[in-house]
Amino acid sequence: MDPALDAAALLRRLGFFGLFVALPVCAQVSRRATVVLAPIAVVLLITASAIDRRQRAVDTSLRRLLTAPAFLAGMLVVFWSALSLAWTPFPGPASERFGNLLFTVAMTLLAYLALPDRMRSANLYLLPLGVGAASVVAILIALAGDVMFRGTPNGDSALERGAIVIALLVWPAVAWLRSRRRDTESLVLAVLAAAALVTAPVSTPLFALAIGALAFALTHARVSLGVRVTATVAAGLLVFAPLLPFLARPVGVALLGPTAPGVLALKAWQKLVALEPLRLITGHGLETALRGRVFGIVPANAPTTMLFELWYELGIVGAFAMAFALYRAIHRTGRDATALVPCAMAAFATAFAIGGVGVGLTVVWWLTTVALTILTFVAVERGQFRHSRPKVGRIPRLPVRGGPQA
């Protein structure tokens, strides 16, 4: 045995243990677990690949990325975010947020290039183990009723972040188990994760998981229809987001009344669109949706969702580029590893629902969680090189010539 290869295997196992087990579990009790553990795990994976070189050829992987329309559109969003620093009223905080965005993108790319060409099943089975353990920890915390972990008024709590991590990572975990024909275990894991989200202090992760379940059911029944509906709805909501307050506010008033918090948030969004329609072209610059609330530029009750912040900060260029990137990424996923497509569509729908309901555009822990989900699906896809073991036929026992029959 080569000691270097053994060391690389150990480092890779530790890296995947950090991503698949330690991170989901620690996210239930620590608000910074995602942004702290993810870079450490990525460094371990990069070190392992540098030793044994079992990753795919870097030039081939980069060529594939640089020719992918979804990746190029995503880079346009990053480039436009950089340009928006020139007209944002908060250049200092915006530059810091853009630096965090660049770091997350770079970390994701390095981890993608460091993933082995063929994933070992032993490493991937850590994923459902980690999601299951995180779900049990979340349920125990909810049952214990420890005030240390109760949600804060702004919803920025460890329990909320931990629930979102479970809602996203449960889909690649279920995809891996289903690809190994462990349907019973995948069902148990899904039920356990749903139970953990029921006990969460906020309803957003459970709502998003339900949306993901609908996408899963539709795609499982008819793959092409599920992919098409998921891509069209997600991209369409991004493109036509400025029209949503004008269309949804009358419905909200009829159902909830004019003073409901959600209706007032739509009213604030509607006023911002009507007062400055030309700023929909360029946007107000990075970080203005968040910092603007403190300085009175944005109403305090304005929405805190991805749909609002994307248009308000990056305008039509950023929104259309993001919509195109998401649309092409969903369709591209629908052509690869068909056994994983239903869970992949569910993950897309869950992530979009979380971002569309209550998570900001460039929150670091949220971007890291989405990047982790993407890397997990890539790892699961690279573990599909062997779908089933060959059956061993029964060897007949032949009589031995010149002696008693066997």
Using alpha carbons, select from 308, 298, 244, 249 the residue that is nearest to residue 275.
Answer: 298
Percent of the chain with pLDDT strictly greater than 90? 56
CB-based contact 111:42 (threshold 8 Å): yes
Structure token digits, residue 28: 């239930």
pLDDT on residue 146:
52
pLDDT on residue 319:
94
pLDDT tens-digit series, residues 14-28: 999 999 999 999 998
Instruction: Work out the average pLDDT over 124-144.
Output: 92
pLDDT on residue 374:
93
For residue 241, give the DSSP letter: G
Using alpha carbons, select from 44, 43, 22 the residue that is nearest to residue 34.
Answer: 22
Task: Count Cβ neighbours within 10 Å for each residue of 109-146 and write b for 16 or more, e otherwise.
Answer: eebbbbbbeebeeebbbbbbbbbbbbbebbbebbeeee
pLDDT on residue 154:
40
The lowest-confidence range among 3-7, 109-113, 204-208, 310-314 is: 3-7
For residue 200, give the DSSP letter: S
**55 - beta bridge partners?**
116
In which region does residue 194 sit, left (phi positive, over 0), alpha (psi from -120 to 50) or beta (all else)? alpha
Instruction: Work out the average pLDDT over 378-393.
Output: 68
Task: Please state the φ and ψ torsions of residue 27, each to the nearest 5 degrees.
Answer: -65, -20
pLDDT on residue 406:
37
Taking residue 10's Cβ as centre, other Cβ atoms within 10 Å add up to: 12
Taking residue 338's Cβ as centre, other Cβ atoms within 10 Å add up to: 11
CA pair distance 335, 279, nearest whole angstrom: 38
Asked if residue 388 has pLDDT above 60, the reply is no
pLDDT tens-digit series, residues 304-345: 888 999 999 999 999 999 999 999 999 988 776 678 999 999
User: What are the distances in angstroms from CA 378 to CA 117, 124, 158, 185?
Assistant: 10, 11, 27, 21
Asked if residue 403 has pLDDT above 80, the reply is no
Taking residue 373's Cβ as centre, other Cβ atoms within 10 Å add up to: 21
The lowest-confidence range among 253-267, 333-347, 378-392 is: 378-392
- With cut-offs at 50, 70 and 90, classify the pLDDT of residue 399: low
CA pair distance 81, 101, nearest whole angstrom: 9
Instruction: Work out the average pLDDT over 281-295.
Output: 88
Asked if residue 127 has pLDDT above 90, the reply is yes
Asked if residue 98 has pLDDT above 50, the reply is yes
In whole numbers, what is the pLDDT of the chain averaged over residues?
87
Burial class (CB within 10 angstroms; exposed 0-12, middle 13-18, buried 19+) of 15: buried
pLDDT tens-digit series, residues 160-177: 889 999 999 999 999 999
CB-based contact 333:228 (threshold 8 Å): no
The lowest-confidence range among 47-56, 176-185, 192-201, 218-227 is: 47-56
Asked if residue 151 has pLDDT above 90, the reply is no
